[in-house]
Structure 1
Amino acid sequence: MKFVRIAALVTALTLPFAAFAQSEESAESTETPPRLVVAISVDQLSADLFAQHRQNFSGGFARLLQGAVFPSGYQAHSTTETCPGHSTILTGSHPARTGIIGNRWFDMSVERDDARVYCMEDSRVEGSSSSDYTVSTRHLLVPTLGDLMQRVNDASRVVSVGGKDRSAVLLGGGDADHVFWPGDAGFTTFAGRETPEALTRINEAAMQAAVSNRIPLPVPQQCTAYNRAVPVGEGTTVGTHLFSRGPTTSGRDILTSPEGDLLTLVLAADLVSELELGQQDTTDLLTIGLASTDYIGHAYGTEGVEMCVQLMALDAMLGDFFARLDARNIDYVVVLTADHGGLDLPERQVEQAAPRAARLLPGFETLDARLAEETGLAAPVLRADSPFGDFYIDRSVPEDRRAEVTDRAIAMISAHPQVYRVYGRSEILAQPITTAPPEHWTVLDRVRANFNAERSGDFIVVLQPRVTPIPEAIPGAYVATHGSVWDYDRRVPILFWWPGAEHVEQPLGVMTVDILPTLASLIDLDLSNVEIDGRCLDVMPGVAESNCP
């Protein structure tokens, strides 16, 4: 391995990379279609970030770059968050169709004080809330690739592992055989589900990692230029943190380091071996949601040494993960993409002379109180989960005053100097969902692809470019974020690879909704009766016939 410190990390987890990539009993090679589809989402891996470090990859990313490369992929919709983004990857549909319009939204029909609903929450469960919930796929309105595969052949196995519940469940789908995500005591799953031996082993390793000290990681040569402190708040900096820590009781501490992805990939590889994925007469699906890039982006930003170290480590770990699949002689195809991009913290953007980069100015925190005073109504009058995106008129507002309150709210918000535009419900719904190339979408097009009439707000707020909607940084947790309509949050890489794949690079815009029909073409899955938004991508250059039907 190029990044030798990762070997030490794995040793600390009692799972040496020598064992991780060990030679195993080989299975007989099979004919096409491939016997295993591996779909990987790297949370917050923007196209810009990937391009920035691309020349330094020598492991798993380098292997994928030998296949079909789409450097200008798009999460084409407006709310570039984890839930909507993951909902598009293996459904072929925009959030307007998947119903997953945000990480959270408001459901005024829910009879509880806080009508906020989490995308993976079963709100029918008594006592449920958006922060304390039972994980469920009930809000996902369309089938995933795994669901469609199992409808055709129930012998196909679907296994999903993620660093977040929303990535594991939205990639795996409602009918997945195994779904694992981090819980209070290591990786967990749905109540009553079978727990393979691999789960016990990885949770023991996670527990050992939690009680161990972690010394700072060394800085690879390609990351030295990023190793400089940037002030964030009073007496705090980012840009030199190298993931050292003492024993912890917080799973987030582990996830906010390369260790989080390491645990996820080791579990995924162990499940391939234990469940013998890819070694039967039908095609299996393994989905992997890697969360550490996102946690690190939020905690330290995207342009510091922390992110560089993370990507070099992930490149090495992916290389060893693929080596383990190779050792089993599995006939597999890989797709790798991201659920969204990300914006670096404004303090570093200002140092780099980025125009208008700033944190959110005051105004939104008093919006509801001012609106209540102006209308004479009791607060809350407005409901929103953040200063941008979906805004709802509260159910307490009389029907005959809703239009007036909406107009007043839009006028107030539009006066904020960092607001780009506010879009009303009728304007959005009057806009057809476009089929134009994603790089040519208007902002309204992006908002429309995210808008579900049953779940979306009464109006949508869009902030100006490079506005970080975190008024004050929380060092070590939230200094930077994503979620906007702008391309730094929308653009993601999309990479396809399989043994023997010919290299092709297509620089024009494609979309994550194109992944499902492309994979379907490679495994001979008929989508003729499935309504989707994506199209099949030709990933076989120079072949007499395209892979697309």
Structure 2
Amino acid sequence: MKLKSLTTVLAATLCLATAGVGLAQDSAPPVAKVTAASPPPKLIVAISVDQFSADLFAEYRSHYTGGLARLASGVVFPAGYQSHGATETCPGHSTILTGNHPAHTGIIANNYFDLSVARSDKRVYCAEDETVPDTSSGGGKYAASVNHLMVPTLGDLMKARDPKAQVVSVAGKDRAAIMMGGRKADELMWLFPGGLTSYRGTTLSPVAQQASSAIAAAIGQARPAMDLPADCASHDIAIPIDKGGTVGTGRFQRDGGDFRRFMASPESDGAVLAAGAALRAARKLGEGGTTDLLILGLSATDYVGHSTGTEGAEMCIQMHALDQQLGDFFARLDATGIDYAVVLTADHGGHDLPERNRQNAWPAAERVDAALDPEAMGKAVAEKLGLPQPLLYGDGPFGDMYLSKALTPAQRKAALAELVARYRAHRQVEAVVTGEELANHPISKRSPDVWTLMDKLRASYNAQRSGDFVVVLKPRVTPIPESGLGYVATHGSVWDYDRRVPILFWRKGLTAFEQPNAVMTVDILPTLAALIDLPVDAAKIDGRCLDLLSGPESSCRP
């Protein structure tokens, strides 16, 4: 199966305009250079590629020929940072268009624990309304919501200034669409087995319904194996994993109706881009009297990374497909003649599975000891100290840990001391930091590449939601005790392979340059706000404006 067919099938189904795509270069009108006096672009396109680490960008940069090649020829910050410690999907997306660290967005992790909630399931998903009766954070039985986001997004600020500004957010995951789209988006949706969906009680617009039907039809069709690009041959090595099977040689073939495999393939990114293009055309984004915002959350890279790792044939195919699909998407935008600006970044980085790392010059890579699981650790401590159970709550063997609220002050003190000592004594644990220690540590204002461990953790700490203590694993300890088909690698650590992401800006007429110094995803909102003359209170954000003009002029207007 050719890569190119994936980028066009949904667009053709949705009857997207293609007039002018592929025009010869000499037939295009002259391009005016972007200067400080240039008017704001008519459309902002904000793209997040889930788990698109700076390492992946660097590894494949010389192979890009499509949309990523275009962006790599613009204003490039190859050393961008999701500067905080909890490098997960929801916290990362919450920083991109708010200008704030998770400490201020309130999105400290994909899941946190609120032991005061009425339901028996005390785990709270970052993008749910846990007060809705008969819902749970597990198994997808939750009510999607933006309630936990504590700060406005770029779209919210644009709508507050001018209600006529249009904001559309489409993503593979609900948390991506919600955390970047904010509260005031005109349309906000994400992929699910039936195509596209949104909040409960929300009716999709006619074009969104049409896109949903086209995507559902694509999910329902079986897909043959994809072709392996020639330069992916060196990645095509089978890696044995626990519980049988291998990864590293996949081609994304799947049965009809297999939504999980659809999401973990280039098809899902193609679906989001096609839906976004259809909604742009229907709503005429970028064609009115104000600047509009189109937000696209592309999740396939993350699903591929989790299910097969970052260095196999699967990721190589995904990088080629992403490049081509973005190229097709930009070509359709070019054909409209709209003056648009693009920013592309990621919610976090990622790390390859340890089994392949051990074959490729990193023999110390390993999987986490199951004894670090909070349930097991809590049970052992409760039995030793004679404390009520369950004693400890956590979403995995690292990150925020929460003590039971049933403890007396004396029991709490004893339990905390014993748990912290046990975690610190484990050979796979780098550090254990208490919530009290983090509360007393200021949020760093320094460059993110020199942040201390405490700086990283503090940027993820919110007193209302964070745990009683945080466990940090040592570098290259994968927090999955056993690998199995579908889940072999992950992210979420404080280490730079999870923190570093590219930040790329492009606009026709914008002089290209590259700045290798460290910048942060929280810098994106003030940068875009300056581009469209949108005032932002610097005291209410953690980021700063990045000057996108090469030379003495500045795009960071006062």
Taking structure 1 as the reference length, what is the TM-score of the superposition? Answer: 0.95
Shift in Å at residue 404 of structure 1?
1.3
Q: Which moved more, 1:371-380 or 1:357-366?
A: 357-366
Amino acid at match of 1:128: T
Q: Please give the per-residue CA displacement for 1:131-176, whole angstroms capped at 9, x wherever unaligned.
A: 3211111100000000011111111111000000000011110111
**How far apart, in 1, do the equivalents of 2:6 and 2:445 lie?**
46
Q: Which of 2, 5, 9 is matched with 1:5 structurally?
A: 2
Residue correspondence of structure 1 range 280-359 to structure 2 within 5 A:
280-359=288-367
Is the contact made by 2:112 and 2:466 (CA closer than 8 Å) also made in structure 1?
A: yes
1:494 alignment counterpart: 503
From the superposition, tell whether residues 455 and 14 of structure 1 become closer, same or farther in structure 2 (CA, over 3 Å): closer
- Pair 1:413-2:423 in alignment: yes
Q: Which of 70, 95, 113 is matched with 2:102 structurally?
A: 95
Shift in Å at residue 197 of structure 1?
3.0
Shift in Å at residue 223 of structure 1?
1.1
Identical residues among aligned pairs (%): 50
From the superposition, tell whether residues 439 and 14 of structure 1 become closer, same or farther in structure 2 (CA, over 3 Å): closer
**How far apart, in 2, do the equivalents of 1:542 and 1:311 lie?**
33
Q: Which of 193, 206, 210 is matched with 1:201 structurally?
A: 210
**How far apart, in 1, do the equivalents of 2:469 and 2:555 lie?**
43
1:77 alignment counterpart: 84
From the superposition, tell whether residues 16 and 194 of structure 1 become closer, same or farther in structure 2 (CA, over 3 Å): closer
Q: Which of 434, 439, 448 is matched with 2:458 structurally?
A: 448
2:165 alignment counterpart: 156
2:126 alignment counterpart: 119
Residue correspondence of structure 1 range 417-428 to structure 2 within 5 A:
417-428=427-438
2:481 alignment counterpart: 471
1:38 alignment counterpart: 45
Shift in Å at residue 206 of structure 1?
2.3
1:437 alignment counterpart: 447
Q: Which moved more, 1:233-242 or 1:416-425?
A: 233-242
Query: The residue matched to 1:480 in structure 2 has which SS?
Result: coil
**How far apart, in 1, do the equivalents of 2:316 and 2:87 lie?**
22
2:472 alignment counterpart: 462
2:35 alignment counterpart: none
Is the contact made by 2:526 and 2:544 (CA closer than 8 Å) also made in structure 1?
A: yes
2:25 alignment counterpart: none
Is the contact made by 1:66 and 1:501 (CA closer than 8 Å) also made in structure 2?
A: no
**How far apart, in 2, do the equivalents of 1:434 and 1:210 lie?**
45
Is the contact made by 2:14 and 2:210 (CA closer than 8 Å) also made in structure 1?
A: no
From the superposition, tell whether residues 503 and 10 of structure 1 become closer, same or farther in structure 2 (CA, over 3 Å): closer
Query: The residue matched to 1:179 in structure 2 has which SS?
Result: strand
From the superposition, tell whether residues 139 and 17 of structure 1 become closer, same or farther in structure 2 (CA, over 3 Å): closer
**How far apart, in 1, do the equivalents of 2:497 and 2:446 lie?**
19
- Pair 1:396-2:406 in alignment: yes
Is the contact made by 1:85 and 1:339 (CA closer than 8 Å) also made in structure 2?
A: yes
Is the contact made by 1:230 and 1:347 (CA closer than 8 Å) also made in structure 2?
A: yes
Shift in Å at residue 219 of structure 1?
0.8
Q: Which of 369, 385, 390 is matched with 2:379 structurally?
A: 369
Q: Which of 531, 534, 542 is matched with 2:543 structurally?
A: 534
- Pair 1:504-2:513 in alignment: yes
Query: The residue matched to 2:527 in structure 1 has which SS?
Result: helix
Query: The residue matched to 1:285 in structure 2 has which SS?
Result: strand
Q: Please give the per-residue CA displacement for 1:229-286, whole angstroms capped at 9, x wherever unaligned.
A: 11112541111010012223x4221111000000000000000101100111111111
Unaligned runs of 5+ in 2: 22-27, 33-37
Is the contact made by 2:225 and 2:251 (CA closer than 8 Å) also made in structure 1?
A: yes
**How far apart, in 1, do the equivalents of 2:7 and 2:302 lie?**
21
Amino acid at match of 1:502: T
Taking structure 2 as the reference length, what is the TM-score of the superposition? Answer: 0.94
Shift in Å at residue 439 of structure 1?
0.3
- Pair 1:265-2:262 in alignment: no
Shift in Å at residue 204 of structure 1?
2.4
**How far apart, in 2, do the equivalents of 1:530 and 1:447 lie?**
21
**How far apart, in 1, do the equivalents of 2:468 and 2:20 lie?**
57
Shift in Å at residue 10 of structure 1?
4.9
Shift in Å at residue 8 of structure 1?
2.8
Q: Which moved more, 1:353-362 or 1:59-68?
A: 353-362
Is the contact made by 1:161 and 1:264 (CA closer than 8 Å) also made in structure 2?
A: yes
**How far apart, in 2, do the equivalents of 1:418 and 1:529 lie?**
40
Query: The residue matched to 2:370 in structure 1 has which SS?
Result: coil
2:231 alignment counterpart: 222
Q: Give the root-mean-square deviation of aligned CA atoms.
A: 1.9
Query: The residue matched to 1:450 in structure 2 has which SS?
Result: coil
Q: Which moved more, 1:382-391 or 1:209-218?
A: 209-218
Query: The residue matched to 1:525 in structure 2 has which SS?
Result: coil
From the superposition, tell whether residues 446 and 8 of structure 1 become closer, same or farther in structure 2 (CA, over 3 Å): same
Is the contact made by 2:103 and 2:460 (CA closer than 8 Å) also made in structure 1?
A: yes
From the superposition, tell whether residues 547 and 21 of structure 1 become closer, same or farther in structure 2 (CA, over 3 Å): farther
Shift in Å at residue 199 of structure 1?
2.0
Aligned residues: 541
Shift in Å at residue 354 of structure 1?
1.2
**How far apart, in 1, do the equivalents of 2:20 and 2:457 lie?**
49
**How far apart, in 2, do the equivalents of 1:303 and 1:219 lie?**
14
Q: Please give the per-residue CA displacement for 1:346-394, whole angstroms capped at 9, x wherever unaligned.
A: 0000001215200112312421210110110121100001111100001
Shift in Å at residue 32 of structure 1?
1.6
From the superposition, tell whether residues 336 and 14 of structure 1 become closer, same or farther in structure 2 (CA, over 3 Å): closer
Query: The residue matched to 2:304 in structure 1 has which SS?
Result: helix
Amino acid at match of 2:129: D
Amino acid at match of 1:338: A
Shift in Å at residue 181 of structure 1?
0.6
From the superposition, tell whether residues 425 and 279 of structure 1 become closer, same or farther in structure 2 (CA, over 3 Å): same
**How far apart, in 2, do the equivalents of 1:511 and 1:520 lie?**
15
**How far apart, in 2, do the equivalents of 1:265 and 1:332 lie?**
16
**How far apart, in 2, do the equivalents of 1:195 and 1:18 lie?**
18
